[in-house]
Amino acid sequence: MPIATPKQFAAMLDAAQKGNYAYPAVNVTSITTINAALKAFADAKSDGIIQFSTGGGQFASGLNVKDAAYGAIVLAEAAHRLAEKHDVLIGLHTDHCQPKVADSFLKPLIAATAERRAKGLNNLFQAHMLDASDLPLEENMALSQEYLKLCAENEIILEVEAGVVGGEEDGAAGGEDTPQEKLYTTPEEMVAVYEALNGIGRYMFAATFGNVHGSYKPGAVKLRPDILKKGQDAVIAKHGKEAWFDLVFHGGSGTSLEEIRETLDYGVVKMNIDTDTQYAFTRPIVDHIMKNYDGVLKIEDEVGNKKVYDPRSYLKKAEESMAARLVQAAEDLRSNGKTIFGQV
């Protein structure tokens, strides 16, 4: 059963912390992108995380439906079936869910897991993200407490965020006018997060250190991974070694390998990847269309070439390219070759 059980997913995070590595968490929107992710993790012999955003769920539900929760459930159910053919462990996770849509997105998904558990089945989702970072910290934590309790009742891990990730990613937007100081979570805020959530259930924490969603050239974004170390040190100084966070790295596109590896030393166990895999998926499609222009279009009353306008002809290339980029991410994060499949 390669979709991890709650016990197995917790063991994945523990193994990453102990082994000083992290899992790529890749956003998907279709069966093709799910298969690309599964191929990558299997090829890299890496456990991993497949994610569904509100926009991805809405897209997957179809143009006439546009129901984010429904689409995410469909994709998750497909992932459960497809993952059975691979010998790595996969966690299913949702990406940024803002407070205004939490009731209509997270609660139906938590309920879907509860329904499966009542039948003796594995969780539909192993983790969810509530992104209430646009609220004052006190309000953010109050809402996070509410959802962490709901998740804990179903052995689901909740990811929370304090501080703002810049840029825009599938509906999660920091905005260009975000004050610079909001891009860096302070040690005091990290202590406050621990004190608000400790003891309710297991959670992951997306602390911000200058990260920005989207694509950017190296050097354009001023990352400060030391922010994570200072926050971890502050929490441990006050509450002991057991207070060490499972941290999440958002907005990793364009980050240097040195900076990625540095975050692993400070407790990052999950790094989101979307922009880079989107480009890797689209690039071979563009190449295919440009090289086969006369075949994919019926020009001047010609009939075109069915072999090249058959969507499978270019989607296979897209799947392979996206998988290759994700294998690179596993290598960057040192999760390659470290699957715990069959051990837990």
Mean pLDDT of 263-292: 97
Mean pLDDT of 9-32: 98
CA distance linking residue 30 with residue 36, whole number of Å? 10
pLDDT of residue 173: 47
pLDDT of residue 119: 98
Residue 38: name the closest of 70, 2, 75 by CA.
2
CA distance linking residue 249 with residue 90, whole number of Å? 18
pLDDT of residue 65: 98
199 Cα distance to chain centroid: 24
CA distance linking residue 151 with residue 72, whole number of Å? 17
Instruction: Output DSSP code: residue 281.
Output: H
The model's confidence at residue 260, banded by pLDDT at 50, 70 and 90, is very high
pLDDT of residue 300: 87
The model's confidence at residue 331, banded by pLDDT at 50, 70 and 90, is very high
**Dihedrals φ, ψ of 314, to 5°?**
-100, -25
Mean pLDDT of 62-67: 98
Mean pLDDT of 191-210: 96
Give the Å distances, CA to CA, from 137 to 171, 193, 240.
Answer: 21, 8, 23
- The residues, ordered by sequence, that sit 6+ positions from 342 with a Cβ below 8 Å of its Cβ are 87
Q: Which residue has the tokens 């012999």?
A: 45
Residue 179 has pLDDT above 90, yes or no: no
More confident residue, 101 or 344: 101
Q: Which two tokens stand for residue 162?
A: 């304090």
Q: Cα-Cα-Cα-Cα dihedral of 27, 71, 130, 145, to 10°?
A: -140
Residue 194: name the closest of 152, 137, 249 by CA.
137
- C-beta atoms surrounding 205 within 10 Å: 23
Residue type, 344: V
Q: Which two tokens stand for residue 171?
A: 């509906």
CA distance linking residue 319 with residue 194, whole number of Å? 40
The model's confidence at residue 251, banded by pLDDT at 50, 70 and 90, is confident
Residue 171 has pLDDT above 60, yes or no: no
Residue 283 has pLDDT above 60, yes or no: yes
Residue 41: name the closest of 6, 75, 92, 77 by CA.
92
| DSSP helix/strand/coil, 248 | strand
pLDDT of residue 214: 57
Mean pLDDT of 49-63: 98
Residue 44 has pLDDT above 70, yes or no: yes
- Top-level class of domain 6-332: alpha beta
Residue 264: name the closest of 323, 344, 212, 335 by CA.
335
pLDDT of residue 221: 59
pTM of the model: 0.93
Q: Where in the sequence numbering do the catalytic residues fall? A: 95
Pinpoint the alpha helices (H) of 68-136. 68-83, 99-118
- Cβ–Cβ < 8 Å for 197, 144: yes
Residue 63 has pLDDT above 70, yes or no: yes
pLDDT of residue 254: 72
Give the Å distances, CA to CA, from 109 to 9, 25, 131, 175.
Answer: 18, 19, 16, 28
Residue 164 has pLDDT above 70, yes or no: no
Q: What is the mean pLDDT of the chain?
A: 93
CA distance linking residue 261 with residue 191, whole number of Å? 24
Q: Which helix (H) or strand (E) holds 90?
A: strand 90-94
CA distance linking residue 146 with residue 160, whole number of Å? 12
- Sign (positive or negative) of CA dihedral 237, 239, 240, 244: negative
Q: Are strands 168-169 and 172-173 parallel, antiparallel or unpaired?
A: antiparallel
pLDDT of residue 213: 57
pLDDT of residue 26: 97
Which neighbouring-strand residues pair with 173?
Answer: 168
